[in-house]
Amino acid sequence: MGRARALAAITLFSIAVSVVFTGLLMLAMHVPHDRFAGGIFIGALVPLIVAPAASYGYLVLLYELKHAHARLAESAVRDSLTGIYNRSYLMERLELEIVKASRTAAPLALLMIDVDRFKGINDAHGHPTGDLVLREIARTCAVCLRPYDVLARFGGEEFAVLMAETSLTVAWEVAERVRRQVSVLRIALDAQLTVDTTVSIGLGLLEAGERAPAALIARADAALYEAKRNGRNRCALSSEEHAPVPSQ
């Protein structure tokens, strides 16, 4: 209910209560019938004037508290730097999706994304630039993903993407799309200076009967390290020969 509708509802309720109470009081006091209508009118007029003024401040405070609570709840699951979900939220969703996948036998994929040579960016340009790079990569990843994928900052320069009901082929296509878009990203520091970077991505799939989130994370991490070892700026599985398409 909006603020105006709530105010109108409170006012109408106050008028109804006041009219009924005034009518009963006049009946109890044996007020003459020729004064009855006037008393009812006053009983309706007073709350019509007083109720909106008295209720407005309370409603404003109530709605502000509601919005503040919503903002607080949202901030608890968001990374303060990038604005995407944080690791805590990802782990909660991962547990829920694993339970769902085990019940429906639907595929479940996890991407682990790491910014290549991120320390060098911090050393060369400073941590504020490093923060800018992380925000831009998070934004780029979000654009590449589907609305129902869960993008989170896993820690430091590492991100994760949880993809429910997603096959290996589709997950690999998404991973490659993210990798390519980040590789062409040019982050402007000023009119003359830009920073470019790449990411390495590891893809892990939930195995049949698996219930532990740690096992899926470890599998995606192992693939990520394999991508790093093989030259960075690439996607990898823990067993590269199973990849549906080669990295570009």
Catalytic residues: 157
Give bridge partners of residue 202 from the DSSP assignment.
112, 236
Residue 36 burial by CB count (10 A; 0-12/13-18/19+): exposed, middle or buried?
A: middle
Name residue 31's amino acid. V
Q: At what angle do helices 168-183 and 127-144 cross, to 10 degrees?
A: 140
Closest CA to 153 of 80, 77, 85, 199: 85
Segment holding 95, helix H or strand E:
helix 87-104
All residues at 6 or more sequence positions from 97 whose CB lies less than 8 Å from its CB, including other chains:
108, 162, 164
Locus of tokens 């699951």: 77
Distance of CA 22 to the CA centre of its chain: 52
Question: 120: which 2 tokens?
Answer: 């060098």
Burial class (CB in 10 A: 0-12, 13-18, 19+), 152: buried
| Beta bridge mates, 163 | 109
